[in-house]
């Protein structure tokens, strides 16, 4: 996978060890994202402790990891990687007591994140970096109650964290920049592609872009302009194919022909003023809610969520392979 290199930070004061020497990771909150992180870290050969207050969390977590494992085997497991290296603990304190890195993936509620990060800070070994998976809260708003806010960072993944390489890393006003540097390096060592942001932006980078598309899609459903299936096809059969290879900027540079982005801007710049986008979020009333949910059920056409997860995982691996982020052949793998 593509890794954006950053210089190795010196060990400490963040964490008792260098990012390269981490062996034990704690995942707190073990739903879709926490479970996906646990699967990723296990596949990379770490010992993982997990805690989640839900009574059925352990069962769900094991099920999620078992479902992800075939994809992880295809990606290539680290030496010694095993699902048996997961320990689900009865308390948060046990989960983080010996952790060398903590990934928090609890529900996206500001008060809950504030309390939880303060509890994690109180329970984790001094100096252990604690990262939040938050989709959009600035760390400045979440680190208000922690005794040592300096070690709290955002490490924002994409679903599923065991397959999508990107993590956006950013600190808050009270985060020590050395903790951000340590976390970025740790994620790289753990096989992720990292963008380290030097300032806080609500929604970070990718979610600002995804959100713009999502709002527009909801407007189109609300207005009866396109069905859920048409919206999905417009991306998977269209721009989505290009975006897996190049981002929206370079993709549009090529739309300018030999004149590149300059011609693109000259040619289509005036269209920016045409009413192509609405951007204000639509009212998520019952009718829109039901139309979107029913449209997705129809689009699934009898496939269960588990079927769709397996299909998505196969597809993403094929794309990673086809675009050279994974070896295409056994020969390439040994090169
Ligand atoms: N779903 C996504 O695509 C996605 C992508 C990137 C980031 N995120 C972020 O990841 C985080 C988790 O989202 P999710 O989609 O996994 O949600 P989820 O609902 O699937 O999982 C949340 C889990 O947290 C547990 N939980 C509840 N209260 C808790 C507490 N006090 N302490 C610890 N755990 C608690 C729940 O039992 C549940 O298992 C959120 O901050 C979300 O914004 C989600």
Q: Is the CB of 35 under 6 A from ligand 1?
A: no
In order of 57, 157, 194, 202, 236, the CA distances from 136 in angstroms are: 24, 11, 17, 5, 25
Strand order in the sheet with 166-171: 86-88, 47-51, 24-28, 101-104, 129-132, 152-156, 166-171, 193-196
Q: CATH number of 206-302: 1.10.10.60, 3.30.70.270, 1.10.1040.10, 3.40.50.1100?
A: 1.10.1040.10
Q: What is the pLDDT of residue 330?
A: 66
Ligand 1, atom 3, residue with closest C-alpha? 159
Q: What is the pLDDT of residue 219?
A: 93
Buried b (16+ CB within 10 A) or exposed e, 86-102: bebbeebeebbeebbbb
Q: What is the pLDDT of residue 15?
A: 62
Buried b (16+ CB within 10 A) or exposed e, 161-184: bbbbbbbbbbbbeebbebbbbbbb
Atom of ligand 1 nearest to the CA of 135: 43
54 CA → ligand 1 middle, Å? 11
- Helical axes 305-322 vs 57-75, angle rounded to 10°: 30
Residue from 26, 30, 31 whose mutation best tests the ligand 1 pocket (most atoms within 8 A of CB): 31
Q: What is the pLDDT of residue 11?
A: 45
Q: Is the CB of 207 under 6 A from ligand 1?
A: no
Q: Over its length of 335 residues, how does the chain's per-residue pLDDT go in tens digits?
A: 444 555 544 445 666 689 999 999 999 999 999 999 999 999 999 999 999 999 999 999 999 999 999 999 988 999 999 999 999 999 999 999 999 999 999 999 999 999 999 999 999 999 999 999 999 899 999 999 999 999 999 999 999 999 999 999 999 999 999 999 999 999 999 999 999 999 999 889 999 899 999 999 999 999 999 999 999 999 988 888 888 888 888 888 888 777 778 887 888 777 777 777 777 777 878 888 888 788 778 878 888 888 888 888 888 888 888 888 887 776 777 66
Answer yes or no: are the C-beta atoms of 170 and 157 closer than 8 Å.
no
Instruction: Report the C-alpha gap between 44 and 81 in whole angstroms.
Output: 6
Please tell me the class of the 2-196 domain.
alpha beta
Q: What is the pLDDT of residue 292?
A: 75
Instruction: Report the C-alpha gap between 71 and 79 in whole angstroms.
Output: 16
Q: Could you state, in order of their start, the residue ranges of all structural domains in the chain?
A: 2-196, 206-302
């Amino acid at each position: 996978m593509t890794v954006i290199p950053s210089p190795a930070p010196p060990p400490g004061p963040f964490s008792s060890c260098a990012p390269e020497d981490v062996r034990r990771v704690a995942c707190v909150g073990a739903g879709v994202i926490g479970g996906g992180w646990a699967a990723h870290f296990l596949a990379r050969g770490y010992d993982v402790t997990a805690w989640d207050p839900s009574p059925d969390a352990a069962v769900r977590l094991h099920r999620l990891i078992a479902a992800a494992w075939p994809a992880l085997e295809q990606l290539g497991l680290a030496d010694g990687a095993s699902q048996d290296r997961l320990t689900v603990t009865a308390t948060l304190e046990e989960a983080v007591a010996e952790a060398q890195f903590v990934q928090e993936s609890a529900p996206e509620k500001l008060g809950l994140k504030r309390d939880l990060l303060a509890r994690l800070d109180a329970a984790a070994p001094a100096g252990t970096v604690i990262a939040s998976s938050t989709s959009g809260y600035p760390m400045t708003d979440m680190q208000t109650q922690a005794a040592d806010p300096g070690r709290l960072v955002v490490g924002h993944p994409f679903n599923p964290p065991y397959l999508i390489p990107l993590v956006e890393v950013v600190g808050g006003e009270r985060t020590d920049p050395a903790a951000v540097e340590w976390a970025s390096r740790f994620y790289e060592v753990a096989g992720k592609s990292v963008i380290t942001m030097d300032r806080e932006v609500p929604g970070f980078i990718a979610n600002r872009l995804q959100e713009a598309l999502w709002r527009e899609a909801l407007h189109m459903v609300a207005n009866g302009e396109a069905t859920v299936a048409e919206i999905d096809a417009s991306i998977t059969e269209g721009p989505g194919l290009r975006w897996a290879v190049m981002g929206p900027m370079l993709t549009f540079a090529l739309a300018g022909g030999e004149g590149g982005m300059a011609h693109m801007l000259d040619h289509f710049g005036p269209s920016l003023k045409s009413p192509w986008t609405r951007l204000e979020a639509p009212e998520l009333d019952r009718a829109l809610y039901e139309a979107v949910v029913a449209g997705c059920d129809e689009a699934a056409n009898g496939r269960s969520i588990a079927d769709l997860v397996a299909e998505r995982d196969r597809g993403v691996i094929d794309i990673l392979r086809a675009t050279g982020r994974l070896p295409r052949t056994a020969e390439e793998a040994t090169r």
